[in-house]
């Protein structure tokens, strides 16, 4: 019921690259076609509200966006459709997912959707971006302070990072012990050199935080 996770450490490679749903949290993502039926289930739209999320981000038509932990492209494809003059980097460490993303981009005529094969701890973005989007991904990242401090170099001036993840009391999502409170996310991002720019509360299952570099 959620998107594929973003894996940023070797230990995570081994066991936790999983969807944020109790029924899928402990599964492998080697079969992208299988998981596309889960991640892209239309029923997810009711609580994920993807179009509202994208509209809330207020992106310019020619914006460059990186969707980290893109999975099967739930958000990436929507972003590419809405930003036809822009570019969307769909980033994932799973080779099967990257292949699936490339096939989906071709099938749907999304020439501005660019799949990226990432490495642990390195998104391998080929250029600076206006926005980095992490949906149901942040709580999986290890060494978050170090990772996001390095990611500052991939942001354009005025670039932002949007973090959407499950509330502690959400019905969907990973086991409660794997979740992070929004206050902790804010504190960790501050340590990595970011300031909270905006906080949205229209998602029923998740918090929605937008950060910018603390020095502007």
Predicted pLDDT at 142: 85
- Cβ partners under 8 Å of residue 160, min gap 6: 57, 130, 131, 132, 197, 210, 211, 212
**Quick one: pLDDT band at residue 52, thresholds 50, 70, 90?**
very high
- Over residues 189-207, the pLDDT tens digits come to 999 999 999 999 999 999 9
3-state secondary structure 128-142: CEEEEEEECCHHHCC
55 three-class SS = helix
Predicted pLDDT at 39: 54
Round the average pLDDT of the chain to a whole number and report it: 84
Predicted pLDDT at 41: 64
Distance CA 98, CA 126 (A): 16
CATH architecture, domain 10-213: 3-Layer(aba) Sandwich (3.40)
Please state the rounded mean pLDDT for residues 206-216.
Answer: 93
- Over residues 4-31, the pLDDT tens digits come to 333 332 223 222 333 323 223 333 444 4
Q: Picking from 20-24, 71-75, 160-164, which range would have the lowest pLDDT averaged per residue? A: 20-24
Domain extents in the chain: 10-213
The answer to whether 124 and 118 are in contact (CB under 8 A) is yes
Strands 206-213 and 155-166 come out as: antiparallel
DSSP letters, 95-146, are HHHHHHHHHHHHHTT-TTEEEEE-BTTB---SS-EEEEEEES-GGG-SSHHH
Distance CA 100, CA 96 (A): 6
Distance CA 132, CA 215 (A): 18
């Amino acid at each position: 019921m959620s998107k594929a996770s973003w894996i940023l450490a070797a230990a995570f490679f081994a066991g936790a690259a999983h969807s944020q749903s109790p029924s899928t949290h402990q599964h492998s993502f080697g079969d992208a076609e299988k998981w596309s039926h889960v991640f892209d289930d239309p029923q997810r739209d009711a609580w994920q509200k993807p179009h509202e999320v994208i509209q809330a981000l207020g992106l310019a038509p020619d914006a460059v966006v990186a969707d980290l932990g893109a999975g099967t492209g739930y958000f990436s494809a929507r972003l590419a459709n809405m930003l036809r003059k822009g570019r969307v980097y769909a980033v994932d460490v799973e080779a099967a997912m990257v292949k699936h993303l490339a096939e989906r981009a071709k099938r749907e005529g999304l020439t501005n959707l660019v799949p990226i094969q990432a490495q642990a701890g390195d998104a391998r973005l080929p250029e600076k971006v206006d926005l980095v989007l992490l949906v149901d991904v942040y709580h999986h990242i290890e060494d978050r302070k170090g990772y996001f401090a390095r990611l500052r170099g991939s942001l354009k001036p005025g670039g932002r990072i949007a973090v959407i993840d499950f509330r502690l009391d959400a019905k969907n999502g990973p086991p409660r012990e794997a979740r992070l409170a929004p206050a902790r996310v804010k504190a960790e991002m501050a340590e990595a050199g970011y300031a909270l720019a905006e906080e949205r509360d229209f998602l029923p299952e998740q918090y929605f935080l937008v950060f910018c570099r603390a020095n502007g």
